[in-house]
Amino acid sequence: MPTSFLGSALRGTFFFIFGLWWSVRYPLKYLRRKTNAENQPSYGLRRVEVFEGAVKAFFALAGILVEQFVPSGPHLMLYSPKTHSWTDLTHWHYTTMYLFFLLSGIVDVVSHSPLKLPLGLDRLSLSVALFMEGLLFCFRNYGDAALDQHLHSLLAFAIFAGALCVLLEVFLRDHIILECLRTSTFLLQGSWLWQIGFVLSPPWGGPGWDQTDSSNFSFLTMCFCWHYAGALITLAANAAVSRWYVSPSKPKPLWETQRCVTSYENRASAWSRGCWKGGGRLGAQHPS
């Protein structure tokens, strides 16, 4: 099961974009919640979440179609009657992964519709999607490719850390620390998928790194840590920049900050107003 650079990079880009987006959104949400507590209904927030879900579902659906209908793909054939064996299952594996992200996206959209879906179902579906992704990477057949397996077990760390974090968010919703942790695991996953692409099938051709050299293992373990450090720094930088953009001069009276955030709110609402009309109230369940 060879890994293509392009596939790995596209998957990585998907996770990285979500991470980047969240690294702007959650710090701003936290700031807004702190400054004007409880005095403004957060309609904009809800629209943004629906938009996110729609984007997730769209990417996942596109991924499924691409995996199935690229020239080397299975074209929805699972069993090849010619060779009396399964077709190449790698594409099907990725199709299965994307299927769960598609489900997660649909649940995101539906759970903010006027249907009274229980709160937390969107987080649960994202957690399930990540667990399934981790399961599929864990049970992939790596054969003798020890470095391949090492790279993917490090990836599985990032995936399961994200999955556990999102699962916890079912019970501790809107907890800024958990949201930051989730964002950092998405950034890590995204950049690590790029790294996997570079290591196993470099875009400039060539055979990939030596699978037997033990110093490659050491280096890549370390490299994984650097990616996480980079993810944390990206998160911090984005949070700082978006904060500075909202309130450019810090030592300012409170009403100034508030007005400033409100203007941001308007800007964000204006931007997101186009994508979803019915601002349905979500029936909130109070977890004990």
Residues that bind its own copies (CB under 8 A): 30-31, 34, 85-86, 89, 92-93, 96, 99-100, 103, 116, 118, 120-121, 124, 128, 132, 135-136, 139-141, 157, 170-172, 175-177, 180-181, 213-219, 221-222, 224-226, 228-229, 232, 283, 285, 287-288
Nearer Cβ to its own copies (51/100):
100
Question: Is-contact 172 178, C-beta < 8 A?
Answer: yes
State the nearest-atom distance from the C-beta of 148 to its own copies, in Å: 15
5-35 and 176-200 are packed helices; what angle lies between their axes, rounded to 10 degrees?
Answer: 160
State the nearest-atom distance from the C-beta of 244 to its own copies, in Å: 11
State the nearest-atom distance from the C-beta of 138 to its own copies, in Å: 9
State the nearest-atom distance from the C-beta of 34 to its own copies, in Å: 6
Question: Could you tell me the CA-to-CA distances from 202 to 4, 194, 206 in Å, in that order?
Answer: 9, 10, 6
Q: How many CB atoms lie within 10 A of CB 16?
A: 22
d(CA 245, CA 64): 38
Nearer Cβ to its own copies (119/273):
119
Strand runs (DSSP E) across the chain, as ranges? 79-80, 85-86
State the nearest-atom distance from the C-beta of 176 to its own copies, in Å: 4
Question: Could you tell me the CA-to-CA distances from 4 to 32, 137, 193, 198, 205 in Å, in that order?
Answer: 42, 15, 11, 10, 11
Nearer Cβ to its own copies (173/273):
173
Nearer Cβ to its own copies (273/279):
279
